[in-house]
Amino acid sequence: MRLIAVINQKGGVGKTTAAVNLAFALSRLGKKVTVIDLDPQGHLASSFGCRQQNEGLDQVMLNGAGIESQAIEVRDNLKIVPAGNQLHQIEQLNEGGTERGRLLQEALSGSFEDQDFVFIDCPPSSGMLVVNALFAVDEVLIPMTGEYLALQGLSHLIKTIKNFEKVLNKKYRTWLSIQRYQSRRRLAKDVMVLLKKHFPQRILATVVREAAMVAECPGLGKTIIEYKPGSRAAREFRQLAEDLIEEKVMA
């Protein structure tokens, strides 16, 4: 099982979009996939056409419920664990010391062993929920856009990851995915050059370009592959899923 945190401390970079569409593309390739919603905003369930769930990961992390018992099958080969209404309380926990950061890791121990991929869709922050994700995973997937603010946010995130590597004595396999790319913009091209320079062999090969129809999908409760299967965006997400399986990166 590959356990991957989808993370970026900057909002608006296509994080949940990447998690939803990658997960579905992988499930269509025959992989068993679970996506865990670690974002208290709880958009993951509605992105798959599910009603907002009152309970989910919050019951696991706050009350010790089994994480597999909170999983909902949303497509063939694809489950989600919704956030639940109380997940935001994790950020406010004052008791438990360092163990507060291990709640998710402990919940995942021995769980989902039949799955090929488990994604953790993280909130755009650096609080206790993200700490829980970094304790739990072995891989990190960072969706990026072609903006300088996103680049600055990436620098801060990489420092956070490196600090965790020192504390936990582990090395994350870190991947970058270029999302919402606008090839006609000089700025986007400049950012791409900088990313290739500073993160060689870390950027997944397929670039997902900007497409208005992708933004329409959450409101319909569909992935882009279901909504417009013949579109360029659908092809790019299918190819990105294969890149992740094969660990295929930009030259």
Domains of the chain in sequence order: 2-246 (3.40.50.300)
Average pLDDT of the segment spanning 231-237? 98
Provide, rounded to the nearest whole percent, the portion of the chain with pLDDT above 90: 77
Distance of CA 38 to the CA centre of its chain: 9
State the DSSP string of the chain: -EEEEE--SSSSSSHHHHHHHHHHHHHHTT--EEEEE--TT-HHHHHTTPPPPSSSHHHHHHH---TGGG-EEEETTEEEE---TTGGGGGG--SSGGGGGGHHHHHHTT-STT-SEEEEE--SS-SHHHHHHHHH-SEEEEEE-S-HHHHHHHHHHHHHHHHHHHHHT---EEEEEE-SB-TT-HHHHHHHHHHHHHSTT-BBS---B--HHHHHHHHHT--HHHHSTTSHHHHHHHHHHHHHHHT-B--
Position 96 confidence tier, pLDDT thresholds 50, 70, 90: low
Mean pLDDT of 164-183: 94
Give the predicted TM-score (pTM) of the model. 0.94
Give the confidence band of 234 by pLDDT, cuts at 50, 70, 90.
Answer: very high
The whole-number pLDDT of residue 14 equals 78
What pLDDT is attached to residue 153?
A: 80
Least reliable range by pLDDT among 8-17, 69-78, 131-140:
8-17
Using 50, 70 and 90 to split pLDDT, how confident is the model at 94?
low
pLDDT at 160: 92
Q: What is the pLDDT of residues 197-213, one digit of tens each?
A: 989 999 999 999 999 99
Task: Take residue 112 and report the two structure tokens written for it.
Answer: 């989902």
**What's the mean pLDDT when you consider all of the chain?**
93
- Mean pLDDT, range 164-181, rounded to an integer: 95
| Predicted confidence (pLDDT) per residue in 7-52, tens digit | 997 777 778 999 999 999 999 999 999 999 999 999 999 999 998 7
Instruction: Report pLDDT for 230.
Output: 97
